[in-house]
Structure 1
Amino acid sequence: MAYILDKAFAVNKDVFTLAQKQPSITGYTRLETLPTAVSMKTGLQAPLADPLWLLARQWQFNEFQGEDAGTPLKLRFAVQGAPIDAFRSGTDVQPQPWQALDGVPLETRVEAEPVWATHPRLRGEAGLQLLRMSPPALRTALLQNYPLSLSAPTATEAAADQAGLLWSQLFDRRTVDASALRADLQPLLLDGVLTGVPAVLGNDAATQALLQTWLDWYDALVYEGAANNPAWQRERMEYAFALKSGNIALDAAEYTDGHLDWDDFIATTAPGDAAQVHTFSVAQRIPTPVRYPGMPAERYWEFEDGQVNFAGAEAGATDLARMCVTEFALSFGNDWFMAPVRLPVGALYRLENDAFEVVDSFGIPATVRPIQPLGQTPWQMYALRASPNLGNQLTGTLFLPDSLDGVQEGAVLEHTLLVRDEMANLAWAIEKTVQGVSGEPLDRDLEAKGLAFSQQIEFPTAADAQAVAPQLIYRLATPVPANWTPLLPTRKGLDFAAPLDIQLARAGMKRFYPDPVTLVADDPDYDKFLANLDAQTDFITPLAIAEDAHIKAYIFYPRGWLLRRDPNQPMDIHDTLLLEEEEVPRIGASLKRKFQYARSSDGRSWLWIGRSKLAGRGEAASGLRFDVAEKRKP
Structure 2
Amino acid sequence: MTEPRIDDLAQALADRARPAVGVWNRLEGRPRTTDFTRALRAEVRDALWMVTRQWQLGEFRGSDAGSPVTATYSVAACPPDRFRPHGAAAGPLPRDRPLETVAERRPLPFAFGTDPIGFDLRLAIGRRWMKLLGGSAVLGNLVFDFRGQYVKRYPIAPPDPAKDADAPRVAHPEVWATLQAVAGRRMDGYLLYRHIKDGGRASDGINDLLHLHYPALDALGEDLVAWFDGLIDQPAGDTTWDPRRLEHRFSVAAAAPDGGEKVLTAQEYPGGELDWHAFSVDPGTPVGGTAPPPPPLNRTVFPAPVRYQGMPLPRWWALEDGGTNFAAVAPDSTDLARLIFLEFALVYSNDWYQLPCDLPAGTVARVQGLAVTDVFGQRLWITPAGTGSDEDWQRWSMFTLDTIGTEDVPADTGLFLPPGVPKVADGPPLEEVSLVRDENANLVWGLERTVRLATGEGHRGSELAAAIQAHHLRLHPPAPPDDPLAPVAYQAMNSVPQNWIPFIPVHVPGDNRSIQLQRAAMPHVVGSLPPVQPRTALLREGLDLPQPRGYFVNEEEVPQSGTRITVAYNRARWRDGRVSVWLAAHRGTGRGEGSSGLAFDLLIDTPGPER
Q: TM-score, normalised on structure 1? A: 0.69
The size of the alignment, in residue pairs, is 534
Partners of 1:27 and 1:215 in 2: how far apart? 89
Choose between structure 1 and 2: higher strand proportion: 1
Match of 1:587 in 2: 561
Match of 1:242 in 2: 251
2:430 equivalent to 1:413:
yes
Instruction: Report the AA paired with residue 576 of structure 1.
Output: G
Q: Compared with structure 1, are the counterparts of its residues 237 and 319 closer, same or farther at alpha carbon in structure 2 (3 Å cutoff)?
A: same
Match of 2:156 in 1: 149
Partners of 1:212 and 1:156 in 2: how far apart? 36
Q: CA deviation at 1:439?
A: 2.0
Q: CA deviation at 1:614?
A: 1.2
2:433 equivalent to 1:433:
no
Partners of 1:28 and 1:207 in 2: how far apart? 97
Partners of 1:26 and 1:162 in 2: how far apart? 93
Partners of 1:618 and 1:160 in 2: how far apart? 32
Match of 2:589 in 1: 615
Q: CA deviation at 1:440?
A: 1.6
Instruction: Report the AA paired with residue 100 of structure 2.
Output: E
Q: CA deviation at 1:610?
A: 1.2
Q: Secondary structure at the match of 2:550?
A: coil
Q: Compared with structure 1, are the counterparts of its residues 177 and 239 closer, same or farther at alpha carbon in structure 2 (3 Å cutoff)?
A: same
Match of 2:193 in 1: 182
1:402 to 403, 410, 419: 419
The answer (yes or no) to whether the contact 1:196–1:203 under 8 Å persists in 2 is no
Partners of 1:485 and 1:288 in 2: how far apart? 60
Give the alignment of 1:48-59 within 5 angstroms.
none
The answer (yes or no) to whether the contact 2:202–2:221 under 8 Å persists in 1 is no
Partners of 2:340 and 2:167 in 1: how far apart? 55
The answer (yes or no) to whether the contact 1:244–1:270 under 8 Å persists in 2 is no
Q: Which stretch shows the higher mean deviation, 195-204 or 364-373?
A: 195-204
Instruction: Report the AA paired with residue 262 of structure 2.
Output: I
User: Deviations 1:384-436 (Å, cap 9, x if unpaired)?
Assistant: 11146886665321122222331111121111000111122211100111211
Match of 1:97 in 2: 89
The answer (yes or no) to whether the contact 2:276–2:416 under 8 Å persists in 1 is yes
Give the alignment of 1:349-368 within 5 angstroms.
349-353=365-369, 355-357=370-372, 367-368=381-382
Q: CA deviation at 1:367?
A: 4.8
2:573 equivalent to 1:599:
yes
2:76 to 74, 80, 85: 80
Q: Compared with structure 1, are the counterparts of its residues 159 and 62 closer, same or farther at alpha carbon in structure 2 (3 Å cutoff)?
A: farther
Q: Secondary structure at the match of 2:501?
A: strand
2:279 equivalent to 1:265:
yes
Match of 2:504 in 1: 488
Q: Compared with structure 1, are the counterparts of its residues 120 and 449 closer, same or farther at alpha carbon in structure 2 (3 Å cutoff)?
A: closer
The answer (yes or no) to whether the contact 2:202–2:217 under 8 Å persists in 1 is no
Q: CA deviation at 1:78?
A: 2.2
Match of 2:227 in 1: 217
Q: Compared with structure 1, are the counterparts of its residues 18 and 591 closer, same or farther at alpha carbon in structure 2 (3 Å cutoff)?
A: closer
Give the alignment of 1:459-470 within 5 angstroms.
470=487
Instruction: Report the AA paired with residue 515 of structure 2.
Output: I
Partners of 2:602 and 2:241 in 1: how far apart? 42
Q: Secondary structure at the match of 1:610?
A: strand
CA RMSD of aligned residues (A): 5.0
Q: CA deviation at 1:592?
A: 1.2
Partners of 2:239 and 2:574 in 1: how far apart? 23
2:106 equivalent to 1:113:
yes
Instruction: Report the AA paired with residue 237 of structure 1.
Output: L
Partners of 2:538 and 2:225 in 1: how far apart? 30
Q: Secondary structure at the match of 2:124?
A: helix
Partners of 1:82 and 1:335 in 2: how far apart? 31
Q: Secondary structure at the match of 1:447?
A: helix
Match of 1:558 in 2: 534
2:283 equivalent to 1:283:
no
1:232 to 230, 241, 254: 241
Partners of 1:495 and 1:385 in 2: how far apart? 31
Q: Secondary structure at the match of 2:422?
A: coil
Instruction: Report the AA paired with residue 149 of structure 2.
Output: Q
Match of 2:37 in 1: none
- Runs of 5+ consecutive residues of structure 2 not aligned to the other structure: 1-6, 31-41, 43-52, 112-117, 135-140, 255-259
Partners of 2:447 and 2:55 in 1: how far apart? 62
Q: CA deviation at 1:586?
A: 0.7
Q: Compared with structure 1, are the counterparts of its residues 130 and 28 closer, same or farther at alpha carbon in structure 2 (3 Å cutoff)?
A: farther
1:505 to 494, 515, 518: 518
The answer (yes or no) to whether the contact 1:143–1:173 under 8 Å persists in 2 is no
Q: CA deviation at 1:181?
A: 3.1
Identity of aligned residues (%): 26
User: Deviations 1:196-237 (Å, cap 9, x if unpaired)?
Assistant: 89854774587677666555433321211247x352222112
Partners of 2:169 and 2:248 in 1: how far apart? 34
Partners of 2:245 and 2:218 in 1: how far apart? 47
The answer (yes or no) to whether the contact 2:386–2:395 under 8 Å persists in 1 is no
Match of 2:49 in 1: none
